[in-house]
Amino acid sequence: MNLQTVDTLIIGGGLSGIYAAYLLAQKNQSFVVLEARDRLGGRILSPEHKGFFSDLGPSWYWPEIHPKMAGLIQELGLKGYRQFEEGLGRFQRPNGEVQTVRGYTNEPLSWRLEDGMMALITKLCEELSGNAIKLNHPVCNIEKKGAEACVSIGELGKEPWARFRAKKVILALPPRLAASTILFTPDLPDNLTQAMLKIGTWMAGQAKFTALYKEPFWRQAKLSGQAFSQRGPMGELHDASNNEQVPYGLTGFVGIPAAQRHDQQPLIEAILSQLALIYGQAAAQPTTIFYKDWAREQFTATKLDQPPMYEHPLYHPPAGQTGFWDDIIHFAGTETATQHGGYLEGALAAAERAVR
Ligand SMILES: Cc1cc2nc3c(=O)[nH]c(=O)nc-3n(C[C@H](O)[C@H](O)[C@H](O)COP(=O)(O)OP(=O)(O)OC[C@H]3O[C@@H](n4cnc5c(N)ncnc54)[C@H](O)[C@@H]3O)c2cc1C
């Protein structure tokens, strides 16, 4: 079996893991990123259609309150633009009736990233050596061996097909997912495992839908694209256009709990009918659509993440610990940040702490 020894292993190639790698590269330290999926980004996902990148995970950052995100975007030479919010809003009652309501500007102001949020990951990776990133490497076991950790790759319950040894390991994945899908030897203390399982993974139970169009017909009708519905299937909608260029888009969150989102096709048909009621018939004929159900992603959500989360939790390191096993293992990942946990800003903060 393949056995590789490195100084630091980073488990998870989402924003937190890739930012930790970027910081380690700046310090000339050797590392390997182990990513379970066949792509980087984790909850960041921006598929391309005709040069337009639709954010199916995070789409906003708030420069006024998220200084690390604002600073990194500037440092990487990326460009942000204001969320389009000009015009009137729409509100749908439980009986389906739609009303026009006053539009509003979010405070603090919401910004989007040109070329989608994935541009952050792509740019950070330009500074990393290609062979430091291992895709399709799901970690299933972590064992303490003296002053080092031995990390196995494979499916839980099956023979691992690769092993890595490292002096330090950064766990850059949601703590609940780590506690549910990785075996630790020796056993982690019960209070730590329980604390990890109880930290809800932010937005893991959500599904997002985006429809792209040739014309921003809602803007032409003096609508901002903002809409809220008490009927569904979409609960909340926004303009998702890439600044001022074709294609234009509408996007939002599906308001139906994960357990009821069975068949994708009827759900998408119901969403398009709802969009037509809210914005007019043109909304039922998008040029393309994207739908992502995060609750069905094995490397994001667990069974515990299926019920909707109605409030943003107050995140902190599990059981107050930023690491364990004499500091061989360090937590990163947004759910372990003490400030802005759950957000992209928290993913950066937790990575900085782990690297420190
Ligand atoms: C629909 C949606 C909308 C959102 N909107 C916003 C927004 O507008 N603004 C905002 O700030 N935040 C938003 N968020 C939250 C934001 O996406 C997260 O804060 C951020 O992406 C978390 O990054 P992370 O690196 O901590 O975790 P993740 O992105 O979850 O990264 C963890 C990585 O670990 C990998 N992994 C998992 N298990 C293993 C394993 N066993 N072995 C190896 N690798 C593994 C995963 O594949 C993944 O790549 C949104 C999230 C979603 C889902």
Series of mean pLDDT values for 10-residue runs along the chain (356 residues): 90 98 96 98 96 96 98 98 96 97 93 97 95 97 98 93 97 98 98 98 98 96 97 97 87 96 95 98 98 98 95 96 97 98 98 98
pLDDT (0 to 100) of residue 262? 86
Is cis: bond before 67, omega within 30 of 0?
no
For the four alpha carbons of 132, 296, 300 and 187, in that order, the dihedral sign comes to negative
pLDDT (0 to 100) of residue 19? 98
pLDDT (0 to 100) of residue 207? 98
Q: Is 164 in the pocket of ligand 1 (CB under 6 A)?
A: no
pLDDT (0 to 100) of residue 104? 86
Ligand 1 centroid–CA 61 distance in Å is 14
Residue nearest to ligand 1 atom 14, measured at CA: 58
Cβ-count burial of 102 within 10 angstroms (0-12 exposed, 13-18 middle, 19+ buried)?
Answer: exposed
Q: Is 57 in the pocket of ligand 1 (CB under 6 A)?
A: yes
- Report d(CA 165, CA 151) in Å as an integer: 6
| Assigned CATH for 48-116+205-296 | 3.90.660.10
Q: What residue spans in the chain does CATH classification 3.50.50.60 cover?
A: 2-44+121-201+313-355
- Give the residue among 269, 267, 299 at the shortest CA–CA distance from 43: 299
Q: Is 141 in the pocket of ligand 1 (CB under 6 A)?
A: no
Q: Are strands 323-324 and 288-293 parallel, antiparallel or unpaired?
A: unpaired
- Report d(CA 88, CA 280) in Å as an integer: 14
Residue nearest to ligand 1 atom 20, measured at CA: 344
Residue nearest to ligand 1 atom 31, measured at CA: 14
Q: Which atom of ligand 1 is nearest to the CA of 333?
A: 26
Q: In this structure, how many other beta carbons lie within 10 angstroms of the beta carbon of residue 174?
A: 29
Helix/strand/coil for 346: helix
Q: What residue spans in the chain does CATH classification 3.90.660.10 cover?
A: 48-116+205-296
Helix-helix angle 15-26:344-355, to 10 degrees: 40
Q: Is 300 in the pocket of ligand 1 (CB under 6 A)?
A: yes
| Residue labelled with tokens 């972590």 | 142
| Residue 69, amino acid | M
Ligand 1 centroid–CA 43 distance in Å is 3
pLDDT (0 to 100) of residue 156? 84
pLDDT (0 to 100) of residue 243? 73
Ligand 1 centroid–CA 59 distance in Å is 12
Q: Is 218 in the pocket of ligand 1 (CB under 6 A)?
A: no
Q: Is 202 in the pocket of ligand 1 (CB under 6 A)?
A: yes
Is cis: bond before 108, omega within 30 of 0?
yes
Q: Which atom of ligand 1 is nearest to the CA of 202?
A: 15
| Assigned CATH for 2-44+121-201+313-355 | 3.50.50.60
Residue 250 and residue 239 in contact, taking contact as beta carbons nearer than 8 Å: yes
